[in-house]
Amino acid sequence: MEMENIFPVTKHLSQQLLQYPFFLSVILLFLSLLLLFTSKNKSRSPHGEVLKLPPSPRRFPIIGNLHQLGRFPHHSLRALSEKYGPIMLLHMGHSPTLVISSADLVKEIVKKHDVVFSNRPKSTASDLLFYGGKDIAFAPYGTYWKQARKICILHLLSPKRVQESFLLVMKEEVSALVDRIQKEIASPESGISINLSHVLRLTTKYMVTRCILGRYEEQGGGSRLVELGRRMMIQLRAFSFGDFFPSLKWLDRARGYIGSLKSTSRELDAFYNQVIEEHKARMESGGQISNSIDFVDILLQLQKDPSSIDFELSDEHVKAIIQDMLFAGIDTTSTATEWLVAELLRNPRVMTKVQEEIRRVVGEKATVDVEDINRMDYFKCVVKENLRLHPPVPLNVPRETSESLEIGGYHVPAKTSVLVNAWAIHRNPDFWESPEEFIPERFENNSVDFIKSQEYFQLIPFGFGRRHCPGMTLGFLMIEYLVANLLFWFDWKLHNTGDSDHALPEDLDMSEVFAITAFKKSPIHAFPKKYSP
């Protein structure tokens, strides 16, 4: 998908407006009749007293602060917060949006206002792609969300499920990956570099799909599902006229945005229908083996016998929940893993140090076990540092206040969208020394841990509070297991597209693409050399 479709970009918004001369003329007319900027930042209570709203950058009439978001909103919002403070109120067209860029304010939210901040704003993309909010990530806070989340935690993400299913799947898929790379090294064309980005995404997909869908064979090289997920993530952040200017929703249809969302939705829906039909047919024929039951089987059993849940589990609910678990697992995990490998290739000192630890702990064994990883203290610091610099979702999934409240000394109205800039919090120099540098040693003898999401708020790569990612522990484990094996079995050198054999570490392109996840723009190509224990 072209970068021009990614929200929110000022010049891209301008390009959209230029396609509609009448609408542009109306805006220019308003701009000529009204003041160029507005700076009023006060509201009144029902009793008439003036309420102090959070500080706001000066804004244009009608479009508000949309023009200030830039190509990479997490970067632009950090720059604005450095000028206006860690809590700001922006006006995105008709949508008031609170921006939080402070660990202290996140702590205040969790300790005092977690329920009020647990709702989700509706959007055109999430409504069309997630069956009107029947999933978990975009569902409004309430009874259904609690029940659906409980199902996922009990039947997919529980420690028992991880031990019985996920660990076995991870071992088999990572072992198959190592074997494939070793065969490529042994071939006459072994001088050919490997597209590590592609390999990491596919292996993550195999691990996640097996635990959710069971054995699933995808035609066409196995990457179509990954491509669909990436397209969906980009569309979720694409600019929508209807989200910010409700009366102009028709423009989303006129410019083809609604059509593109429906096209993605139809393709995903057809895939889920096929999966559900195959599972139902197998269950009716008695072909399901109890100890290999997958998550789809569990959802269909609950659908057939809903006595343990308080809502009707329709096929749309099943498909929406599957989509959440599938693509949240694939995209966030593969994105974090790809950035981790990139940082290691760019920092040879860290790569050497962590490989020495991994190989020392594993010793002469033929496999890397999870128990081994739990003894790799420096490796865990490396993974945490990567999540600090590259949180998979740099702007946590948007929230919405369910009622008005006071936070940070300011009044926040009900129905205000909320963006928490995890990327900015992770790079705050007041807490992190040399915050732009990759320094895993900062986590040695440091108690900050994102797993303890109710205690530490300087590190929130998987969100926080009630709506933190329920699969963060499992995602962390998949990242660790996959990368530890790649580092144990192989030494890696960057591939250079120029004349020399290998690229310099500092030459590695670290540019990103902003969607729901911020993934690496250019793939990583590297030469593996087999390590013999």
Instruction: Report whether 192 contacts 525 (CB < 8 A).
Output: no
Query: 410 by DSSP, 3-state: which?
Result: strand
**Average pLDDT of the residues in 224-253:** 92
| Average model confidence (pLDDT) across the chain | 87
List Cα–Cα distances, 244 to 8, 94, 97, 250, in angstroms: 12, 5, 11, 12
Which pLDDT score is estimated for 299?
A: 93
H or E element that contains 326: helix 315-346
Q: At the fourth CATH level, which superfamily is domain 3-530?
A: Cytochrome P450 (1.10.630.10)
Q: Got the DSSP string for 205-251? A: HHHHHHHHHSS---SGGG-HHHHHHHHHHHHHTS--HHHH-GGGHHH
Paired tokens of 78: 């950090």
Predicted confidence (pLDDT) at residue 9 exceeds the cutoff of 70: no
**Residue 156 pLDDT class (50, 70, 90 cuts):** confident
Which pLDDT score is estimated for 5?
A: 37
Which pLDDT score is estimated for 496?
A: 65
Name 3's Cβ contacts closer than 8 Å, sequence gap at least 6: 513
**Average pLDDT of the residues in 20-31:** 50
Predicted confidence (pLDDT) at residue 215 exceeds the cutoff of 60: yes
Q: Which of the residue ranges 160-169, 179-188, 238-247, 491-500 has the most confident prediction, judged by mean pLDDT? A: 238-247
Which pLDDT score is estimated for 118?
A: 97
pTM of the full predicted structure? 0.88
Which pLDDT score is estimated for 197?
A: 94
**Residue 122 pLDDT class (50, 70, 90 cuts):** very high
Half-sphere exposure in the Cβ direction for 43 (13 Å, CA):
16
**Average pLDDT of the residues in 406-425:** 97
Known binding-site residues equal: 469
Instruction: Return the number of other C-beta atoms located less than 10 Å from residue 411's C-beta.
Output: 17
Paired tokens of 378: 């420096």
List Cα–Cα distances, 97 to 121, 256, 341, 403, 416, in angstroms: 10, 26, 35, 14, 6
pLDDT, tens digit, for every residue of 344-391?
A: 999 999 999 999 999 999 998 888 999 999 999 999 999 999 999 999
φ, ψ of residue 92 in degrees (nearest 5): -95, 90
Instruction: Return the number of other C-beta atoms located less than 10 Å from residue 511's C-beta.
Output: 8
Which pLDDT score is estimated for 21?
A: 53
Quote the radius of gyration of the chain (alpha carbons, Å): 24
Which pLDDT score is estimated for 347?
A: 96
Predicted confidence (pLDDT) at residue 297 exceeds the cutoff of 50: yes
**Average pLDDT of the residues in 7-33:** 48
H or E element that contains 526: strand 525-530
Residue type, 118: S
| CA distance linking residue 375 with residue 354, whole number of Å | 12
- Tell which wins on pLDDT, 275 or 21: 275
**Average pLDDT of the residues in 292-309:** 86
> How far from the centroid of its chain's Cα atoms is residue 76's Cα?
19
Known binding-site residues for heme equal: 469
